[in-house]
Structures are given as C-alpha cells and as structure tokens.
A = this chain, B = another copy of it.
Amino acid sequence: MADPIDFWFDFSSPYGYMMAERIDTLAAKHGREVKWRPFLLGAVFKHTGGQPLPSQPMKGPYSKHDLARSARFLGLPFTMPEAFPVSTHQACRVFYWLESRNPRLAHEFAIGVFHAYFVDGRDISQMDVLEGVAGKLDIAPEAVAGATADDAVKAHLREVCEVAIASGVFGSPFVVIDGEPFWGVDRLPQIERWLEQGGF
C-alpha cells in the first residue's frame, strides 16, 4: 500500500478549509489515505518573514474577493470570519491529543473546527468554541481543557511545526504526495493528474 498523502494546514487558513473539503475524496478515489497535519503558519512565518494575507497591500483586498469566488467555484459554503486570522494553537493541541488516542475522532474534530470557523464564522481561538465542537463528538469539555494544558501535547505541536519547516512547508494548504509538494487549493487539478498518472 502506498504511503498516506500528507495534508498540512493551519486551522485559520481559508484555502486550507477548502482543501480539507476535497482532499479525502480525491485521495480515496485513487486508493490513497490522507494524513492530516495541522500546524501553526505563524511559526513558519517567523522563519520566512511571511505575512497573513489581510495585512498584505493590494493582495489583501484581492484575496477576500478571491476566497469567496474560489468557494463558489468549488461549490462550498463559506463565510469570511470577522476575527481573522486567529491563533490556532489550542485547536492544534486538541487535535494532536485526540489523534494519539483516536485518529478517526481527531479527523472529525478537525472538520468540525473548520466548519465552526469558515461556515458558522465562530472564533476558533476561543476555548468555549472548541469545547462546543468537541461536545458534538461526545468529548467532555474537561478533556479539551486538559489537552490544551498538556506539556507533552505542547511539545509535540512545537515538533510538528519544526518538521513542517524542515519539510519545506511554507503555506497552507500544503499537500505532499510521495515527496512531491503542492501548495494551494488551486493545485487540486495538478494533484488529481498526479494521482491518476503517478506523476507527470
């Protein structure tokens, strides 16, 4: 069996949300699994000098427009959250804590976080919002709070961000198939052809 596809993303990345809505189905069509790897884009930006889209002159206003249009193009519900971008280290910590116990549940939690942020417009940096997402999956709020305060989980997230940087991951979404890197949801057609033909 081929290795899983790596899907790197920041929970605060709207194009990451769009990729999250498409990558599993696309991969499954070609018999591949996907390893979801949330990381902190802020940690990478410290390394590269990158900036969040809204703070970039000219590109900021364009990207707001492009995000809404790209979501319509892909047929996805999309709300631009009022709080954007937000800190996502708590969401990441809950994800990795869950993943060490129940990877399937971690995956469902990640989808729930993306929907809370980019469909319902909730601020996913807030613990009550994360607890709400977790609650729908029958995860107790105490467990969520525990995960975000867990030193081993914190260390693991730092390590994930270091691996991201070492792997050349500088943006979100970032998909790696057998060593081949694809940045951006607009690379979906190339990803599809790569999976169909085993490279091109």
Contacts and interface: CB of A to CB of B under 8 A. Distances in A.
Contacts of A39: none
A20 to B, nearest CB: 19
A14 to B, nearest CB: 16
Nearest to A58: B170
A186 interface: yes
Contacts of A169: 58
Interface in A154-200: 165, 168-171, 181, 183-184, 186-187, 189-190, 193, 200
A65 B170 contact: no
Given A73-B189, A73-B190, A59 B200 contact: no
Contacts of A190: 69-70, 73
Interface SS of A by simple majority? helix
Contacts of A189: 73, 189
Contact of A58 (B65, B69, B168, B200): B168
B183 A184 contact: no
Interface string A104-128: 0000000000000000000000000
B73 A170 contact: no
Contacts of A72: 200
A73 to B, nearest CB: 5
Given A48-B57, A70-B190, A73-B190, 9 more contacts: A47-B57, A47-B58, A48-B58, A58-B169, A65-B181, A73-B189, A73-B200, A186-B186, A189-B189
A174 to B, nearest CB: 9
Interface in A32-72: 44, 47-49, 56-59, 61-62, 65-66, 69-70, 72
Nearest to A174: B62
A70 B70 CA distance: 19
